Amino acid sequence: MALAVEEIQKLADLARLEISAGEAADVSAKLSAIVGLVDQLAAVDTAAVRPMAHPLSRTQRLRPDTVTERDEHEAYQRNAPAVERGLYLVPKVIE
Amino acid sequence: MHEKTLAQLSGALGARAVSAVELTRAFLDRIEHFSELNSFITVTAERALEQAAAADARIAAGNSTALTGIPLAHKDIFCTAGVKTSCGSRMLDDFVSPYDAFVVERLAAAGAVMLGKTNMDEFAMGSSNETSYYGVARNPWDPARVPGGSSGGSAAAVAARLCCAATGTDTGGSVRQPAALSGVTGVKPTYGRVSRYGMIAFASSLDQAGTLTHTAEDAALLLEVIAGFDARDSTSLEEDVPPYSQLIDAPWERVTIGVPENFFEEGLDAGVAAAVHAALREYEKLGATLKSIRLANVHLSVPAYYVVAPAEASSNLSRFDGVRYGHRAADALGGGLARFYKRNRGEGFGAEVKRRILTGTYVLSAGYYDAYYLQAQKVRRLISDDFARAFAEVDMIAGPTTPTPAFRIGQKTGDPIAMYLNDIYTIGANLAGLPAMSIPCGFASGLPVGLQLIGPHFGEARLLNAAHQYQLATDWHLRAPAGYPPGFAE
């Protein structure tokens, strides 16, 4: 099934990715090929099959609700592009 | 010295025939001399020599382990405290990790010396090391060819004797496939065997840390140090870790090896098939019984994987937004938040990564989720059940690791499907969470060929034992590429 360029742009929007006009045609062609590959799955009879999300059949391990982490924000924020008073700087969110 | 296996170097260090500092210097010199292979993104020379000096002190004090003083390399997907960790991507080009991955911690605690971080396909997405922001890594057997991927740098470094062992990760074959193409031994443990804490996530239900070494014995020595429970990884299992390095010498029981007929159909290079068949005959000489099996749904591995893995990747890579770390485009500000994210991610990610995120977004989107993602999860169950049924009849499964030997750089980059089909034999083990490994078993057109062994869950000891028996009877794993002459930096 082919994916049109408009559909690629919609997906890019959802994924918060920028796909330039120059890239879009190539991305559309390649993604269409990939979707063609995975379309093979449609022919498989899976009516009675339980989906498998994970190779392990275990339940989530829980731990006591106690504080175990230390405040290491200075170390973690060393990689931040823009920080002020321990806060990450981003574009204005609320208009 | 660089010709020797990890086990041999361990013996030499323990006997004080060589010091860890001498050994580390020799490997660092070699890395620099053969830098055209581009197998390292970061070389941590000063740190390595400090670690080596500490290792020598520990050996002298008599409290060393088998890995103390052993120079190895980490795939650049493992967080290493104070050291750049790029995951092969522009997105993390200036990221210096504030912590160590579990695998890194464990190997450091055992006294291993880290030479540096190896090259890899960007965010582990690739089968050739051609998607790396830092350029392609080259196959020492023929530098015009790929070493495989995504752990291409690790495989190439071990093959060229730039380190005696390296870590890798395997999500769809990314340890085993480069091991096969580069002529080394690659092991992917059972899902949950090795903690993923600090291992940058690609597809969380498939990712697993693994080893690239010359021998199964060396892999066993590494695995028994990195396997085990870690509370910081919620998928880490509380299974005891067997003493793998002792168990490789266990008496070779008469095992039944299942050979999937559907792994030998069209698409398999004749030279690869011949080398694999010869290896299977060798196993018969060693006392194994071969049994033809059919994994009825295994041909669906690639389509199922290319739904599940991109879906999980699209979720995992959403954290890379240029806010707390990672690439921030120069003109990211001044256009609102959505544009901010798009600029950072659009510039920070390469083409293959963007394609996979888009594929994942597509298969998870409303209206397509059932047809693709849910259907792929059901097919995953079918494939997993096929393996479970097979293991009721056979002890392990053997076949080719890859359909062809190493291909030329640039040969498959124009066609994603052709690239994806490199993993046709390896993906099944990731979908089912099974342990699997690749060992060198011969050559096709002068290039290495790998034999793949797949075992039931937590069957690593038996796989390593089987691989070791083969490596005692043959010497494919000891062959070194001609362009990387021994005797240098002795």
Give how far Cα B343 sits from Cα of B21, B280, B318, B335, Å.
Answer: 46, 52, 14, 10
Choose from B321, B378, B380 for mutation: most chain A CBs within 10 A: B378
Q: Which residue of A has its CA nearest to B345?
A: A17
The distance of B42 to chain A (nearest Cα, Å) reads 18
Q: What is the DSSP letter of B43?
A: E
The whole domain housing B208 covers 6-255+459-478
Confidence band, pLDDT 50/70/90 cuts, at residue A1: low
From B95, B361, B415, residue closest to A14, measured CB to CB: B361
Length reported for chain B: 490
Q: Where are the alpha helices (DSSP H) in B111-262?
A: 152-159, 176-182, 216-226, 244-247
- Beta carbons of B462 and B122 less than 8 angstroms apart: no
Q: What is the ipTM of this complex?
A: 0.95
Clarify whether B150 is annotated catalytic.
yes
- Let me know if B117 is a catalytic residue: no
Q: What is the domain count for chain B?
A: 1
Pairwise CB contact (< 8 Å): B359 & A35? yes
Given an 8 Å threshold on Cβ–Cβ distance, is B231 in contact with A63?
A: yes
The terminus-to-terminus CA distance of chain A in angstroms comes to 40
For B67, phi and psi rounded to 5 degrees?
Answer: -100, 0
Beta bridge partners of B199: B78
Domain boundaries, chain A: 5-43
Location of structure tokens 């394609």 = B355
Distance from CA of A43 to the nearest CA of B (A): 10
Which residues of A fall within a CB distance of 8 Å from B432?
Answer: 55
Evaluate whether residue B231 is within a structural domain.
yes
| Catalytic option among B10, B19, B39, B75 | B75
For B136, the 3-state DSSP assignment is coil
Instruction: Please check whether residue B464 is in contact with residue B439, taking contact to mean a CB–CB distance below 8 angstroms.
Output: no
pLDDT at B486: 55
Measured between beta carbons, the chain B residues lying within 8 angstroms of A29 are none
Query: Residue B388: closest CA among chain A residues belongs to which residue?
Result: A55
CATH at B10 = 3.90.1300.10
What is the SS3 assignment for B88?
A: coil
What is the predicted pLDDT for the residue at A2?
Answer: 80
User: Which of A38, A57, A83 to mutate to test binding with chain B, by most B CBs within 10 Å of its CB?
Assistant: A38
**Burial environment of residue B285 by CB neighbours within 10 A (0 to 12, 13 to 18, 19 or more):** exposed
The answer regarding whether domain A5-43 maps to CATH 1.10.20 reads: yes
**pLDDT computed for residue B214 by the predictor:** 97
Q: What is the pLDDT of residue B2?
A: 67
Say how many C-beta atoms besides its own lie within 10 A of residue B469's C-beta: 22
Work out the average pLDDT over A65-73.
Answer: 94
DSSP B160-198: TTSSSEEEEE-SSSTTHHHHHHHT-EEEE--TTSB--TT
Residue of B64, B89, B150, B301 with catalytic role: B150
pLDDT score at B489:
43
Let me know if residue B337 belongs to a domain: no
DSSP B341-364: HHHHHHHHS-HHHHHHHHHHHHHH
Which of A34, A49, A61 to mutate to probe the B interface, most B CBs <10 Å? A34
| Residue B19 resides in a domain | yes
Nearest Cα to B427, choosing from B188, B212, B219? B188
- Tell me which chain A residue has its CA closest to the CA of residue B365: A11
* One-letter amino acid for residue B403 of the chain: P
Query: Is the separation of the CB atoms in A84 and B331 below 8 Å?
Result: no
Of the candidates B123, B72, B73, the residue with the CA atom closest to the CA atom of residue B93: B123
List the catalytic residue out of B39, B128, B174, B182.
Answer: B174
- Is omega for the bond preceding B365 within 30 degrees of 0, making it cis? no
* A3 Cα to chain B: minimum distance (Å): 10
pLDDT of chain B along its 490 residues, tens only? 767 899 999 999 999 999 999 999 999 999 999 999 999 999 999 999 999 999 999 999 999 999 999 999 999 999 999 999 999 999 999 999 999 999 999 999 999 999 999 999 999 999 999 999 999 999 999 999 999 999 999 999 999 999 999 999 999 999 999 999 999 999 999 999 999 999 999 999 999 999 999 999 999 999 999 999 999 999 999 999 999 999 999 988 789 999 999 999 889 999 999 999 999 999 999 999 999 999 999 999 999 999 999 999 999 999 999 999 999 999 988 888 999 999 999 999 999 999 999 999 999 998 999 999 999 999 999 999 999 999 999 999 999 999 999 999 999 999 988 899 999 999 999 999 999 999 999 999 999 999 999 999 999 999 999 999 999 999 999 999 987 765 544 4
- The Cα–Cα gap between A44 and A40 comes to 8
Minimum distance, in Å, between the CA of residue A1 and any CA atom of chain B: 12
Rounded (10°) CA dihedral B44, B45, B47, B51? 120
**Of residues B307, B336, B357, nearest to A38 (C-beta):** B307
Tokens of A28: 């559309």
Hey, what's the torsion of the CAs at B425, B121, B441, B6, to 10 degrees? -130
B91, B328 in Cβ contact below 8 A?
A: no
B230 neighbourhood in chain A, CB within 8 Å: none
From chain A, the residues in CB contact with B354 under 8 A are 17, 19, 27
* Cα torsion through B369, B370, B372, B376, rounded to 10: 120
Structural domain contains residue B150 = yes
pLDDT value at A92 more than 50: yes
Q: How far apart are CA A4 and CA A25, in angstroms?
A: 9
Helix axis angle, B351-364 to A21-38, nearest 10°: 60
Q: Is B10 known to be catalytic?
A: no
Residue B154 lies in a domain: yes
B218: CB partners within 8 A, 6+ apart: B5, B6, B7, B164, B165, B185, B211
- DSSP E strands in B11-112: the ranges are 40-43, 71-75
